[in-house]
Structure 1
Amino acid sequence: MKTICVYPTKAQFIIGEEIKIKVELNNAVEAGSTLICNIYRLQESLFKIEKTVLKGDKEIVFSFNLNIRERYMTGYGVKVEVQRLDGNYDAYYTAFDVVDSWTRAPRYGFISDFFDSDMNDE
């Protein structure tokens, strides 16, 4: 099955820590297509990063730092747009938090879907 997965490498980042959004392509996007990672705070668009898919890319990672004005914690939305060569457009969404301490918003959970490519994850 050709699917695209978009997610932060962690659900929660500490203020000042580099944030990474991973896009697993799983052969679902052809080389030359454009990925656009949009970062939002509430409805406000903060910035976007564009990357072109190269032949053989299995994943794309968007890395960035945020200049945080808030003291304690803020949630951010992510929209990754896939602009395909044939003119079609897809969008995928995720979110992450930025906090001064994990104790402000403790996280827990589990992963419910696994793929063969996940077998060596730590």
Structure 2
Amino acid sequence: MSTKANCYLIGGTRVLTQCATRLLDAGVTIEGVLSRDPAVVAWADAQGVPVHDPSGDLMALLSERPFDYLFSMVNFRILPGAVLDLPKIAAINFHDGPLPRYSGSHVPAWALYEGAPRHAATWHLMTEAVDA
């Protein structure tokens, strides 16, 4: 008997809503979204996905039930190691540039400023070291 994967999402923008839609389409259960982004909140409400305060007690919230994945997309809160250890499978971050070349914030702007001929996004396992 197989069980569906489940996850929490933290962050904002259309990156989160587009990825969340694909997760739902793939049969993944989204247990909750941690966001204050009005577009994300509206998307979650329309999908019947619970919305939580991203600045609240993440340990308390995310410890309520087991889950497989934590996805962080356009999230500016640094998540402590104890939170990253909660998912059964992985805590995964979306970074809007190729790592390690473009770490930090405003990555697409820096790539444009430097005249980069190509650009990419990176999905990576999260560790306590940011963008590592």
Q: TM-score range by the shorter chain?
A: under 0.3
Bigger relative contact order, structure 1 or 2 (CA pairs below 8 A, ≥6 apart): 1
TM-score, with structure 1 as normaliser: 0.25
Structure with greater proportional strand content: 1
Structure with greater proportional helix content: 2
